[in-house]
A and B are shown apart, each in its own frame.
Chain A
């Protein structure tokens, strides 16, 4: 019993420490590091969206950046062209992205496995083509600029990056807990059932395609939220944000971190974005290095960093808790393996 309490105490301590550090970032770290954290957060939302689909549904999507871009473009258009006041552009952007996800979802919910990947790739490319070619609205390759972040209680999040950091942090935590809650909910359980044995779930009377559809729309909503903050922070949106490399990058971050946990999505994004900054100082060949890294991760480290750490964590750090097989939490005992061999 004392061991159990010790475990809880340690966990609570770690959690509180992490929260403290995250809240204190604007004061204890350099401005540069804070900007980096902001970037990690909005790309993190995109990655979480990919992670959620891959981990919970077992479907590798190559079009989440499309929803990231759709909401971004909506915000840009509504604000800089039509001049709508603050709460409208981001809300409308999210609604439009969800509607788009609802439309595309009708198609992608029908297909499985490798077809899912192919179809999402094609649809993502079509959205990119639209952003690139429909220059009357999207201004083609240059994209839309001059988008300003909103002002709250007299504090402009455009000029004060600290304010922007907290503004985003709230929504980032909201998105993360939304997905985490979905994972724990009955819906999440049903979804995992579909992932592991679709025919069984269908036979038990669950509407399998509806579940897949809903999961796709939920994940897209989170990606779209990331897109809103991306557009506000950078002040511009162009077709590169919806292009295939953006999608591949999100997938790479998801796999790098480990697709079985949302924490993995954040860790993967941190690593990839740090690498981006470090490499861009040295060489232009970011894509090349990304490709090689992608290949290495796929071939040798499919569990990702968090997947590997989790094993260590369970075996060593909290040995006392997990050694007893009856008390082992079921989520840890058998890791779902999406990339399993048939």
Chain B
């Protein structure tokens, strides 16, 4: 959840592209990981392969389609929607419509008891949360502290000025988009390991991610974290108590937050 949302915020905030392909990349990454796991038996390799494959897809999408519509965000969004439909259907063709799961790697299988709370918790979930934290930390450091990150942010704010300084902003954008595709693929494999992989999952993930973004506000990493916490909590509780409405309940936070703050909790006015 964290990872998908952070990948989406990345492409969102940095390129001002609403990338509706993200859910499809998540699913494609998951299925690619599944096949690689069957073939090679290594879970780590599967995660990497999922990430690399979707980043390649993302690169192609950016380079050949989105670049032609740069600056017109409505067209960009609609293009990404069409790519999402195509990728979604291709996944259906290749892997079929049956739900699959990726088995949890042995090193991470099992459960630990947490002494303080007196409960038993699967190791894999802890690993997932840890991974999400690492990725968010890394993204934050990358964007705020490194030279490349600073250049990217500058390129978003003033494309022409940064170009005039002799930096190839287009190439930079391709890189960022590819990175967000990589994150989607990785989260597909990681998420597919304890959730189920099934066709149609792409839209569900995309909806959840968009809710996170709407709640948290666009272009803010902190907002994404808070948004995914709110969404995740409400979703889990409602799944446990009122399963018929588990998704529809998410309408409430969206409605409340949009009526108070139309730009989301941490969104900036443009």
Contact = CB atoms under 8 A, between A and B. Distances in A.
Given A114-B73, A288-B90, A298 B203 contact: no
Contacts of A115: 214
B72 interface: yes
Contacts of B92: 287
Given A113-B73, A134-B244, A298 B79 contact: yes
Contacts of A243: 203
A342 B78 CA distance: 16
B93 interface: yes
Task: Give the size range of A's interface with the partner.
Answer: 35 or more
Contacts of B90: 288
A123 B210 CA distance: 10
Contact of A290 (B75, B77, B85, B204): B85
B91 to A, nearest CB: 11
Contacts of A295: 65, 79, 82-83, 86
Interface centre among A129, A243, A251 (most CB of B within 10 A): A129
B88 A287 contact: yes
Interface string A26-47: 0000000000000000000000
A290 B85 CA distance: 8
A134 B251 CA distance: 15
A194 to B, nearest CB: 17
Contacts of B126: none
A118 interface: yes
B258 interface: yes
A332 to B, nearest CB: 24
B259 A298 contact: no
B68 interface: yes
Interface in A127-146: 127, 129-130, 133-136
Contact of A133 (B81, B243, B259): B243
B232 interface: no
A87 to B, nearest CB: 30
Chain B binding site: helix, strand, loop or mixed by DSSP?
helix
Interface residues of B, number: 44
B73 A287 contact: no
B120 interface: no
A86 interface: no
Given A122-B214, A134-B245, A341 B72 contact: yes
Interface string B52-86: 00000000000001001101111101110111111
B262 interface: yes
B250 interface: yes
Contacts of A125: 203-204, 207, 247
B246 interface: yes
A248 B243 CA distance: 28
Interface of B: 18, 20, 65, 68-69, 71-75, 77-79, 81-86, 88-90, 92-93, 203-204, 207, 210-211, 213-214, 243-248, 250-251, 254-255, 258-259, 262
5 contacts: A113-B74, A121-B20, A288-B93, A292-B82, A339-B75
**Which 7 pairs from chain A and chain B are nearest by CB?**
A129-B247, A291-B85, A291-B86, A295-B82, A294-B82, A125-B207, A288-B89
Interface of A: 60, 106-107, 110-111, 113-115, 117-119, 121-123, 125-127, 129-130, 133-136, 243-245, 248, 251, 285, 287-288, 290-292, 294-295, 298-299, 302, 338-342
